[in-house]
Amino acid sequence: MTIATSAPRVGQPLPAITLPSVDGQSVNFSEYQGKRLLIFMWASW
Amino acid sequence: MWQQFLASRPDLAFLSVAVDVAPERVRPFAADRPFTTVVDSAGQLGRLFEFDVVPNGVFVDERGIVRFVHIGGFDIRRPEVAAQVETLLQTDFTSDRAAAAPVLPQEALEVEVLRVELVERPDEASLHFALGDALLRSGRLTEAEASFQHAIELDPADWSAHFGLGSALYQQQRPSEALTSWRAALALDPPNFTVRKQIWMVEHPERFYPTIDFAWQQEQLKLEGYTP
């Protein structure tokens, strides 16, 4: 486990990436501008 | 597990990102959740944040600035993870001073989170060890020394606390005291090659530079009476 000390991107803007949702919609990260956002990354394996 | 945490934190937006290659595998896990789940089949976030393990957490402030990255083991059921997120929620990233100030170093945040935890659980040796480790990585050596000492008082059999103490002492230019601590660590965990090699590197630097003398290491193991 790593709590990234000099992690890539810390202090930088989150890129406006677009990803598909499980129900087929497109979600762009910029939609969360103005809110505090927690991104949780996981896998089913 | 996230639903319960998020239910009482309406000020926090949450985006679940499955890094599965096959989106159809994700749907059963994402069904009936009060938050959005997206699928990153192409591994964009893995390249962005340079991770190859999960689960991970990334906290982004209101201005869209990444403030915190946690790679591996980001499980909200772990008290220290929940405390990390709470601390981030309570941090003011919007003031002019905060915006102009350097991003809070990860180690400093980690230290503060652990200090909060220790208020609630002051007799937990593992927390004192974790604090010592975070302080050591921050370069706060005398504080790290004290935390490791405290961990040892609570759990004298923890080799890692003795090892950490030795590291804090060594970095304060106190090699004989460091060796004493490392030997205590090794006595508690004789098969521990990391500790043994650390002692060797201080006592026999010529066996490591300019090249590592592996034959010497094998002989030294015999001399020290340890055979794996």
**pLDDT at position A6:** 45
Cβ <8 Å between B70 and A4: yes
Grouping H, G, I as helix, E, B as strand and the rest as coil, residue B72 is coil
**Residue of B13, B27, B88 with shortest CB distance to A35:** B13
E strand residue ranges, chain A: 2-3, 18-20, 26-28, 36-42
Q: Which CATH architecture has domain B105-228?
A: Alpha Horseshoe (1.25)
What CATH topology corresponds to B1-79? Answer: Glutaredoxin (3.40.30)
Residue B207: closest CA among B100, B166, B198, B177: B198
Q: Report phi then psi at B71, rounded to 5.
A: -105, 120
Q: In this predicted model, what pLDDT tens digit does every residue of B184-215 receive, in sequence order?
A: 999 998 888 888 888 988 899 888 777 778 88
Task: At B152, list the tokens.
Answer: 């040892």
Report the C-alpha gap between B112 and B140 in whole angstroms: 13
**pLDDT at position B8:** 83
**pLDDT at position B105:** 57
In chain A, what residues touch B19 (CB-CB under 8 Å)? Answer: 41-43
User: Looking at the complex, does the CB of residue B110 fall below 8 Å from at least one CB of chain A?
Assistant: yes
Q: Where are the domains of chain B?
A: 1-79, 105-228
Residue of B nearest to A25 (CA): B38
Residue B95 has pLDDT above 70, yes or no: no
